[in-house]
A and B are shown apart, each in its own frame.
Chain A
Amino acid sequence: EAQVTQNPRYLITVTGKKLTVTCSQNMNHEYMSWYRQDPGLGLRQIYYSMNVEVTDKGDVPEGYKVSRKEKRNFPLILESPSPNQTSLYFCASSLSSDNSYEQYFGPGTRLTVT
């Protein structure tokens, strides 16, 4: 089954404790992206990747890192999480990097930073 998976689905952590949220897709998609969703603000892009070893900042990249060593995986790293990073995070992938194709979203990761 074609899908985007994220782990963990729920995470409660403390300020400053490094964490990684994994994202994997099995559709051989070139484009992958991370979004955060906050009430009233919709989906805001954190980072995106057009292909392996190619990543770029989205609209709200501060406090986040990503890597794209393999085509299928696109982990999101929070080196020193802070409470303002409490949010619902979605990973998404798309066939091509030209943004003319639909994005497939993962199930989401709800992160709470205390």
Chain B
Amino acid sequence: GQQVMQIPQYQHVQEGEDFTTYCNSSTTLSNIQWYKQRPGGHPVFLIQLVKSGEVKKQKRLTFQFGEAKKNSSLHITATQTTDVGTYFCAGKTSYDKVIFGPGTSLSVIP
């Protein structure tokens, strides 16, 4: 079936280092959303990408949607302790279903 994968599963970084998580789909996606879940919390929407090759920025976060609309990435520049959490991508398939990736858990060492 259709799958959305994310790598890495876990990432530990020193505060100030950069961080990137990658999301890959087995099929072409209509759009992709990114969510952040703080420890003990619930997923919170960050952004949505729709167009092939689209790049969006939110302060230190850069989101990219691949040309083939089958992959996406989230890059955080100069991580801070407030960035700790699990980052999920969620892709909308051609069948109008939303499939979440398994998430990348980010730890930031002060």
Give A76 to B46 CA distance when docked, in angstroms: 27
| Residues in chain B near residue A102, CB distance under 8 A | 33, 45, 48
A-B contact count (CB 8 A): 50
Contact for A90 among B6, B43, B101, B103, CB less than 8 A: B43
What number of B residues sit within 8 Å (CB to CB) of A? 23
Given contacts A100-B31, A102-B33, A102-B48, contact A43 B43 (CB under 8 A): yes
Stretch of B14-22, B63-71, B73-81, B92-100 that contacts chain A: B92-100
Contact for A99 among B45, B92, B103, CB less than 8 A: B92
8 Å CB contacts to A: which residues of B78-110? 88, 90, 92, 96-103
A42 and B45 contacting across the interface, CB-CB below 8 Å: no
A40 and B43 contacting across the interface, CB-CB below 8 Å: no
